[in-house]
Every structure is written in C-alpha cells, then in structure tokens.
Amino acid sequence: MDFSLTEDQRALRAGMRELMERRFPRARLRAVVDAEGGGGAAAGEGAGTGAGAVDRGLWRELGAAGFFALRLPEAAGGVGLGLPEAVLAFEEAGRALLPGPLAATHLAAGLAATGAPVAGVPVAGAAVAGAAEGEAVVTALDTAGAGHGGAVLVEHLASADAVLVLGDGDAGIRTAKEIGSSAEAVRSVDPATPLHRVPGGVAPAAAGERSSGEQGAGAGRGTAARLRREAALLTAAQQLGSAVRTVETAVAHARERVQFGRAIGAFQAVQHLCASMLVRAETARSVVYAAAVTEDPGDIAAAVLLADEAAVRNARDCLQVHGGMGFTWEADVHLHLKRAWVRAEQWQTAAAAEEELAAGLMSTGARCL
C-alpha cells in the first residue's frame, strides 16, 4: 500500500496547476465575473447571452493539455491515465474556479472514443467526437436531478454543442440546440455558471436514435449509473480544490490583516476557524482520492458528502475570516461559495449520499484496506 501520490501524479498536478495559473489567472476569472452585466446575482438576466460563456480558446488549451482525454487509451489519442489522475486535474480546476461543464465534457470524450455503438452510446456527430480535444463543449442534463415540476437545471447550455443526458437507467447524447429549444434562462446565483431550466421528460435519445439503455437493461443501467458516479466524483474533486484554496486564502488574509495592533491570525478565534477549515479539507482529500482508487459507490458517496461540506463551509469560514472585505464583490470568496453551492446540487444530493451510505451499513463490513 502506498496511498501517497506517485512522482508522475505529482508532476501531473504541478502541470495542471501551472496551466491553470497561466491560462486562467485571477484577472481572467474576474473578467468573466465582472463582465457579467454588472448585475451579479441580483441583476438582470445575463445567463446564456454571452456573459459567462465558455471560452473556446481556453477549452481547446485544456483539450491540448489532455484534460478531457486524460482517461482515453493512448491508442485512441488519449493520455491513458485513470480516475486518480483525473481527480487531481479536476482538483486543480476547482482550485482555480475554472468555469464550464468540465465533468460532462470529460465524460463525453470517454464515450466518443469508444465510438458508437460501443458501450451502447450513440454519438451525435462531430460534437462529441471533438470533446477529447476541447473542440466541443458538452454539458449534462441529469434527469435524476429533477425538482418540483420535473424541471432540471443545466449549466452552460448556451455555450454547449451537445448535452450528455443521463436518464433513469440509460444515457445518451443530444444536441444542445434540441435541448435549448425548450429551455429557459435562469438568473444564476453563480456569475460564472450560467444556468438554464429545462422542463422534465427529456429522453436520453431523440426519437429514432438508440440510447444506451436499449442495448439491454443491465448494461444501460450500468452506463448511466457509472457516468453519474464518475461525474459526482470529479465534481467532488473540484469541491476539494476549492476547499483547499479557501483555507490558503483565509490564512493569507489572517496573516496580513491587522486589527487591534496585530495580525488577526494571532487571535485564537481566527486560528481555530482556519484550523477547522484545514481539517475539513484534508479529510475530504483522503476520501476523494480513495474513491478515485476504489471507484466504490459508497466511497464516492462519502467523497461527495465530505467534499461538498468542505467546500461550502470553508467558503463561509473564509468569508468570516475576511470580515467586511469578504462581503464585497471584489473579493473572490463569494465566487468559491456560490460555485460550491452549484456543485453541491449536481449529481448526488447529500440526502441521496447519506441514504446510500446507510444502506451500505447493512451489507457486512470489511470495507477496510
């Protein structure tokens, strides 16, 4: 057993961090956020009308760096790595608050590579074929996330070429145009994540096309469930990155901000807030990484729970450490909090994760080592 990162994994992480810092520095994040109509959460519309649109240039660079093709076989033009490496890359994206439907495009790239009808997923033309290279932007519609009235929120729909639709058991690809025709823009709480509300009843495949479910119930069910789990884990990895980043931000502020004649980081109340943040982040890290290794549904549910909690609560504590400064639009703290809220609503809710883990307690243990 050696749970530590390998040298290659360290290098991958460093490379990804360097890529994010170079190609998506803070100025670029602020440009996305501040361009957004000057309105923010409380202002006009914004979503889907250019504001918060996916930066195609950046998307291609991510593709060139292997972000989407990370897990494709080298023979298929991929990097040939696994879920642990993908998790490291997504952690860095979360750390940088990189916007866009990263998980959906990453998963769609995997589907495309195997080619229709392998794995039972039909490919809607070139859109998904370009996912691995970052030529296509693929977002996702998870019908299991349907709320009151059966509607679902879809991120970055206006920027997307295709939509990965996860049905009850089957999965499929539809064009963004198709889905967009019935969608309505929503004033997103996160200025960097435009959202559309899509009415219920969307099927994974357009009439006449085959969705993965039609290959046979077993495989179909497995495909959608597996994609949902992987998406949940990759999203948890982004939450982890955000949680780690807000600890650093809080600590940096606490060292610099002087009140009552000393750095506020010398006050136990602030010290202990920061310490609790680190505990949350490191705890989340251990389960997210382990779930990437085991791919076990229970481990993934644990990763979702603890990473969501770490991202949301760390962002709030970071805001508290920043005091009034943290309440301003100019500070980045709120961007972490809002994105963490968005991600926490995706793929698997806390309630579902807790029920999954509770059910797991009934099957006999032996979950160790």
Partner 1 sequence: MDLSCTEDEEDFRHRLRAWLRRVLPALPPRPDPADWPARRAYDCGWQRMLHDAGYAGLHWPREAGGKGATPTQHLIFLEETERAGAPYVGANFVGLLHAGPTIAAEGTAGQRARWLPPILRGDEVWCQGFSEPEAGSDLAALRTRAVRDGDDYVVSGSKIWTSHAEVADWCELLVRTAPVTPDTPRHRGISWLALPMDAPGVTVRPLRTLAGTAEFAEVFLDEVRVPVANRVGAENDGWRVTMVTLSFERGTAFVGEVVACRRVLESLARTARANGRWDDPVLRRRLGRLAADCTALWRLTQWNVSEAQRTGGVPGVGGSVFKLRFSQVRQELYDAAAEVLGADALDAGREWVVDRLSSLSYTIAAGTSQIQRNIVAERILGLPKGR
Can you tell me which of 42, 207, 269, 362 binds a second copy, judged by CB under 8 A?
A: 269
- Residue among 247, 249, 254 at smallest CA distance from 314: 247
CB of 340 vs partner 1, minimal distance in Å: 11
CB of 272 vs a second copy, minimal distance in Å: 6
Considering only residues 245 through 264, tell me which ones interact with partner 1, judged by CB under 8 A. 247, 251, 254-255, 258-260, 262-263
Q: How many CA atoms lie within 13 A of 102 on its CB side?
A: 28
Whole-angstrom Cα distance, residue 132 to residue 237?
A: 20
**Is 199 in contact with 146 (CB distance < 8 Å)?**
no
Q: CB-wise, 131 or 284, nearer to partner 1? A: 284
Q: CB-wise, 237 or 264, nearer to a second copy? A: 264
CB of 270 vs a second copy, minimal distance in Å: 9
Considering only residues 259 through 298, tell me which ones interact with partner 1, judged by CB under 8 A. 259-260, 262-263, 265-272, 274-276, 278-279, 282-287, 289-290, 292-294, 298
3-state secondary structure at position 196: strand
Whole-angstrom Cα distance, residue 105 to residue 112?
A: 10
Name the token pair of 64. 């060139």
- Residue among 153, 142, 302, 306 at smallest CA distance from 227: 142
Work out what residue 181 binds among partner 1, a second copy, none; the CB cut-off runs from 5 to 8 Å by kind. none
Whole-angstrom Cα distance, residue 334 to residue 316?
A: 8
Q: CB-wise, 75 or 351, nearer to partner 1? A: 351
Q: CB-wise, 26 or 56, nearer to partner 1? A: 26
Q: CB-wise, 162 or 321, nearer to partner 1? A: 321
Whole-angstrom Cα distance, residue 216 to residue 192?
A: 39
Whole-angstrom Cα distance, residue 79 to residue 331?
A: 37
Can you tell me which of 1, 27, 75, 207 binds partner 1, judged by CB under 8 A?
A: 1
CB of 265 vs a second copy, minimal distance in Å: 12
**Applying CB under 8 A, does 177 fall inside the site for a second copy?**
no
CB of 70 vs partner 1, minimal distance in Å: 14
Whole-angstrom Cα distance, residue 70 to residue 91?
A: 14
Work out what residue 138 binds among a second copy, partner 1, none; the CB cut-off runs from 5 to 8 Å by kind. none
166 beta partners: 142, 171
Distance of CA 332 to the CA centre of its chain: 18
The DSSP H or E segment spanning 13 is helix 7-23
CB of 321 vs a second copy, minimal distance in Å: 14
Which residue pairs from 324-327 have beta carbons closer than 8 angstroms and sit at least 24 positions apart in sequence?
A: 325/253, 325/257
**Applying CB under 8 A, does 341 fall inside the site for a second copy?**
no
Considering only residues 338 through 367, tell me which ones interact with partner 1, judged by CB under 8 A. 341-342, 345, 351, 353-362, 364-365, 367
Can you tell me which of 189, 267, 298, 331 binds a second copy, judged by CB under 8 A?
A: 267
**Contact positions vs a second copy (CB under 8 A):** 267-269, 272
